[in-house]
A and B are shown apart, each in its own frame.
Chain A
Amino acid sequence: MEEHVFDLLPAYALGCLDGEDDLRVGEHLSACHVCRGELERYRTLVADLPFAVAESDPPAKLKETILQRARQTKRIPAATPKIALWQRLPSWSMVSLVFILVLGASNLLLWGRLNTLESRQRASLRTVLLQGTAVAPDATGMLVISLDGSHGTVVVDRLPVLSESQQYQLWLIRDGQRTSGGVFSVDEKGYKGMYIKSPEPLDSYTAIGITVEPVGGSPGPTGDKVLGGNL
């Protein structure tokens, strides 16, 4: 007998569901806020479990190694102090700047009125280009996300046609955790458009990836990555 999705949530939080169950739960979660709440509680539990592993001290030199590597990493502070433009300009520039701003503002008003409709249309969707990997260098893809960030569609082209035992699987990535966003096959030209089954708003994820998996998909990525992009 098939279990109720509710009974599979503990295993989903652990990431130990087999492909078919995993897809079924993922699909259900996209439409059920009660189960999403339950899932969060089980995820909190999973994150507490490391407190029960046998403890060992890391090697003494490891901290310095990590800090050294952090120093070598090019790191752009999230918000660097900014110096206002007017403070950087020589005084004679101020009059010219005010004049330019007045002219610019009037042009912007006119431009804005002419383009309101077009702007609204552009603002309704956000697109993210996906890059092919070495496994599928000719492949291209695009993710289209709704303005509120809640849902989206992926379109892929020139992906290799797979054998009957394989399908592509889309992964939504956040904090190193991968959630299935759907399984698909492509036509003879490697083309496919697919609505993404996302258990949580799409803009809550940081990246997506597409891998080759057995038919029906896997609980986690197992095959080669063919396309990817950052959200």
Chain B
Amino acid sequence: MDYIKLDDEALMRLIAHAQEQALGALYDRYSRLVYSMALNTTGDSGLAEEITQDVFLRVWNKAETYRPEQGKVVTWMSSITRYRAIDLLRQRGIRPESNRLDWVDGVSPDLPDGVDVELEVEVAQRRQRVRTALAQLPPDQRIALSYAFFQGYSHSQIAEALREPLGTVKTRIRLAMQKLRQILYEDKLPNE
């Protein structure tokens, strides 16, 4: 079976039936995303490896609980990665270097081997759209968003870290998220 050609949902069904090759194919597809997210959150390659292992083993052990109607596989995996990374930071009392807490605007390097070309293009386009959208945010909104996203800081913790009033931080995060949503999904907000 050519696992490279299978879509994510098909791979998940095979993983639920304990097919290791399907897990390997999903790893080829998303390990860079998971590892990069973990590394950017923790700033520690050892922890990033640990988190990547946790995420893929969780996929292996919980594949049968995945429900396509609740979201895409990559959405599910990125949520697991983020919460696992933030949990680890909190449990171990780690505060990553603040200079790591930013987004990338530029073009990404090539995807690894073993990934379907169509998927490669789709992921590359998605990546470019998200990066372009984030580049359009004012710097203060990007920074506030990065504290919430990478470190799991609450509004008040971000306000303390940035030495800004709580209300200012709340507004920055709200405006950043609304603008990203409008740019990425061309959404009209209900109150507009």
Interface residues of A (CB under 8 A from B): 3, 6-8, 10-11, 13-18, 21, 34, 38, 41-59, 62-63, 65-67, 69-71, 73, 75-79, 175-178, 204, 206, 219-220, 222
**Which B residues from 44 to 99 make CB contacts under 8 A with A?**
45, 48-49, 52-53, 56-58, 60-65, 70-72, 74-76, 78-84, 86-87, 90
Whether the Cβ atoms of B109 and A176 lie closer than 8 Å is no
Whether the Cβ atoms of B177 and A66 lie closer than 8 Å is no
Known: A21-B155, A45-B180, A77-B18. A51 touches B79 (CB 8 A): no
Cα-based distance from A219 to B157 in the complex (angstroms): 12
CB A171 to nearest CB in B, in angstroms, measures 12
Cα-based distance from A66 to B52 in the complex (angstroms): 9
Nearest chain B residue, comparing its CB with the CB of A173:
B83
Known: A42-B181, A70-B60. A56 touches B36 (CB 8 A): yes
Whether the Cβ atoms of B35 and A176 lie closer than 8 Å is no
Partner of B32, one of A47, A57, A78: A57
Q: Which residues of chain B are within 8 angstroms of A222 by Cβ–Cβ distance?
A: 90
Known: A48-B126, A177-B83. A41 touches B187 (CB 8 A): yes
Cα-based distance from A16 to B146 in the complex (angstroms): 11
- 6 new A-B contacts, CB < 8 A, other than A18-B156, A49-B149, are A10-B177, A11-B177, A16-B148, A18-B154, A67-B23, A75-B61
Q: Which residues of chain A are within 8 angstroms of B86 by Cβ–Cβ distance?
A: 15, 220
CB B156 to nearest CB in A, in angstroms, measures 5
Q: SS class of chain A's interface: helix, strand, loop or mixed?
A: helix
Q: SS class of chain B's interface: helix, strand, loop or mixed?
A: helix
Pairs across A and B, CB under 8 Å, 12 listed: A6-B191, A11-B174, A14-B173, A44-B75, A49-B134, A50-B81, A52-B130, A56-B32, A56-B35, A57-B32, A77-B16, A206-B65
CB A162 to nearest CB in B, in angstroms, measures 20
Cα-based distance from A133 to B180 in the complex (angstroms): 42
Whether the Cβ atoms of B108 and A55 lie closer than 8 Å is yes
B11 within 8 A of A: no
Q: Which residues of chain B are within 8 angstroms of A50 by Cβ–Cβ distance?
A: 33, 36-37, 78, 81-82
A-B contact count (CB 8 A): 188
Cα-based distance from A3 to B174 in the complex (angstroms): 11
Whether the Cβ atoms of B27 and A63 lie closer than 8 Å is yes
Cα-based distance from A143 to B191 in the complex (angstroms): 38
Q: Which residues of chain A are within 8 angstroms of B90 by Cβ–Cβ distance?
A: 220, 222
Cα-based distance from A45 to B79 in the complex (angstroms): 11
Whether the Cβ atoms of B130 and A13 lie closer than 8 Å is no
Whether the Cβ atoms of A7 and B174 lie closer than 8 Å is yes
Whether the Cβ atoms of A52 and B104 lie closer than 8 Å is yes
Q: Which residues of chain B are within 8 angstroms of A42 by Cβ–Cβ distance?
A: 177, 181
Whether the Cβ atoms of A51 and B127 lie closer than 8 Å is yes
Q: Which residues of chain B are within 8 angstroms of A51 by Cβ–Cβ distance?
A: 33, 123, 126-127, 130-131
Q: Which of A14, A17, A67, A206 has the most CB of B within 10 A?
A: A14
Whether the Cβ atoms of A175 and B79 lie closer than 8 Å is yes
Partner of A62, one of B31, B65, B155: B31
Nearest chain A residue, comparing its CB with the CB of B109:
A55
Cα-based distance from A63 to B23 in the complex (angstroms): 10
B112 within 8 A of A: yes
